[in-house]
Amino acid sequence: MPSKAEILEIDGIDVRITNPDKVFFPDIGATKLDLVNYYLSVAEGTLAGCRNRPSTLYRWPNGVDKPEDAFFQKRVGDKRPEWVQTQVVKFPSGRSAEMIVLADAAHVAWAVNTGAIDLNPWPVRKGDVDHPDELRADLDPTPGVPYEDVCTVAPVVRDVLREHGLEGWPKTSGKRGMHIYVRIEPRWPFTEVRRAALAMAREVERRMPGVATTAWWKEEREGVFVDYNQNARDRTIASAYSARPVAAATVSCPVEWAEVDGLDPAAFT
């Protein structure tokens, strides 16, 4: 692979894309530059979900065929362009990290250049990192469970939310599940948001016995796991429009509730 670089001007900011021809997704022949261009093409939607959110980057610097080289990056590197925005966040351990804040399309492109395939924003905004403005329902089908079951659990999640005056916005996860995001007032701490998610999950489980589960141990799970723990501090979910580190390069795609019935997640790549 020849060593070269391409400079993209994004909203007046020059972003250097190194090794643009490096193949990230061998099965479909997509390169790093292809991935950057994909993110730029959906920048508006991506930023609707990520803008000003401190984010963990899931980096695969040598593509999806080198999972042994993949890692999560929370602390943004010291060496970075001066325009890169950051936000210090605190972990329950008491430690803290200076995390990248995805302020605009240039930030996304810069992150992708470092090998970030999916973006994992905290459910908070820069300036108030202790109060989530988003509750997230993460639906993970256990192995062998058809997507159809996910599509039957999702509307029940919606019902429970609505009974509490909340509206859920569904999207495919880009892998085998679904995510439902709920806008909330940035008023409660992580612990309270997680408690609400737990209560919601338990109610969904109660209404869908054998189809929805909140059991932590895989062995005890049956059907679709409603993963309320993703609402804890420092736990994240791949953002809307994130590409996922899988061979087919499927992406997380927001959908309308009317589309949920009969949805095929593999259609979004």
Partner DNA sequence: GTTTAGG
Partner DNA sequence: CCTAAACAACGCACG
Partner DNA sequence: CGTGCG
Cβ 235 to DNA, closest distance in Å?
6
32 binds DNA (CB under 7 A): yes
132 binds Mn ion (CB under 5 A): no
86 binds DNA (CB under 7 A): no
User: CB-wise, 63 or 177, nearer to Mn ion?
Assistant: 177
Q: 15, 223, 227, 228: which one contacts Mn ion (CB under 5 A)? A: 227
Integer-rounded Cα Rg, in Å, for the chain is 19
- Binds 216, which of Mn ion, DNA, none (CB < 5 to 8 A, cut-off by type)? DNA
Helix axes 43-50, 32-41, angle to 10 degrees: 80
Amino acid letter at 253?
Answer: C
| Closest of 16, 86, 18 to residue 56, by C-alpha | 86
Q: How far apart are CA 36 and CA 19, in angstroms?
A: 12
| Closest of 141, 137, 140 to residue 164, by C-alpha | 137
95 binds DNA (CB under 7 A): yes
Cβ 230 to Mn ion, closest distance in Å?
5
| Closest of 188, 196, 137 to residue 164, by C-alpha | 196
Give the number of other CB atoms < 10 A from CB of residue 148: 11
Residue 229: exposure state from Cβ atoms within 10 A (0-12, 13-18, ≥19): middle
The interface region with Mn ion, picked from 65-73, 142-150, 195-203, 224-232 by CB under 5 A, is 224-232
The interface region with DNA, picked from 36-44, 150-158, 213-221, 253-261 by CB under 7 A, is 213-221
| Count of residues in contact with Mn ion, rule CB under 5 A | 5
**Contacts of 42 by beta carbon, 8 Å cutoff, 6+ apart:** 241
User: CB-wise, 42 or 57, nearer to DNA?
Assistant: 57
Binding site for DNA (CB under 7 A): 16, 18-19, 22, 32, 56, 59, 61-62, 69, 71-75, 77, 79, 91-93, 95, 97, 113-115, 138, 140, 190-191, 216-219, 225, 227, 229-230, 232-235
